[in-house]
Amino acid sequence: MRVDEMLKLDGQVAFVTGAARGLGFAYAEAVAEQGATVVMTDVDGTALDAAAARLKAGGYNVHAEVLDVSDTDRVAATIDGAAKTFGRLDIAFANAGLSAGPGPLTERGAMASVDLARWNTLLNINLTSVFVTIRAAANHMCKRRSGRIIVTSSVAGIRGERMCGYAYAATKAAVANLVRQSAIELSQHNVNINAIAPGPFLTNIGEGRLHDPDVARQFVADVPLGRLAQTDEIKGLALLLASPASSYITGTVIPIDGGASAF
């Protein structure tokens, strides 16, 4: 099979959480550009409608549904509904997540300042909702013995990260190992699951603090390539993992971080 044919997704159905902006939007756009029908979900209905309209204007087949991933019953029901509506589910991106705020070298981010209510919120959204997304998507994919699940982890999940809060680092490490654990079971059903571990991308996570030049400079100080990434730069890796080109890749956590994890 030609490489360009390996990357085609015509006739496939994809589901993306946190798709209104940032990396989630880039994931949705990447697979839509290759012919997939994309169910875009996000808690922010206004931003989601605008994002879906942008892709529809480009001629892509996308559908928007408001979804708060902290409601895990609703997550499963929305995935089931998408599979029923479109008759199949081929690709799922478990992407929605929250920042825990500044890292441990700041007063607000120090261990003594960690708010346990916020900690538990991140556990629910960054970890439990990811597990539920994986489980609900796998339920449909295993029956068809085909599917790709992609989870957004972080470089903070594979090494210590001075710029990221405790709960964020902990949950992103947890989802990385959740992917490895899931691969053991799902590989029996020809379903591949992998994680992307981004470094500092210019998104609005954490109330957009990476748009602050001082904060950006601190993040970039740990990046050998010496800059923040643009969201389009994640699309190639996302497409690889969502497509038949990744047929022999499962249980991996792949950094895309400008070399930060090389330290």
Residue 73 CA to residue 54 CA, distance in Å, equals: 29
User: Which region holds residue 82: left if phi is over 0, alpha if psi is between -120 and 50, else beta?
Assistant: alpha
Catalytic residue chosen out of the listed positions 27, 60, 166, 168: 168
Task: Give me the residue label for tokens 């947890």.
Answer: 174
Alpha-carbon gap, residue 239 to 19, rounded angstroms: 15
Cβ atoms of 76 and 132 within 8 Å: the answer is: yes
Backbone angles phi, psi at 160, to 5 degrees: -65, 140
Strand locations in 122-211, DSSP E? Answer: 147-152, 191-198
Question: What is the rounded distance in angstroms from the CA atom of residue 164 to the CA atom of residue 182?
Answer: 26
Name the strand (E) or helix (H) holding 242: helix 235-242
DSSP secondary structure string for all residues of 47-113: HHHHHHHHHHHTT--EEEEE--TT-HHHHHHHHHHHHHHHS---EEEE-------S-TTSTTTSGGG
The distance of Cα 41 from the centroid of its chain, to the nearest Å, equals 12
The yes-or-no answer on residue 166 being catalytic is no
Sequence-distant (6+) residues with CB within 8 A of 143 are: none
Which residues are tagged catalytic?
Answer: 168
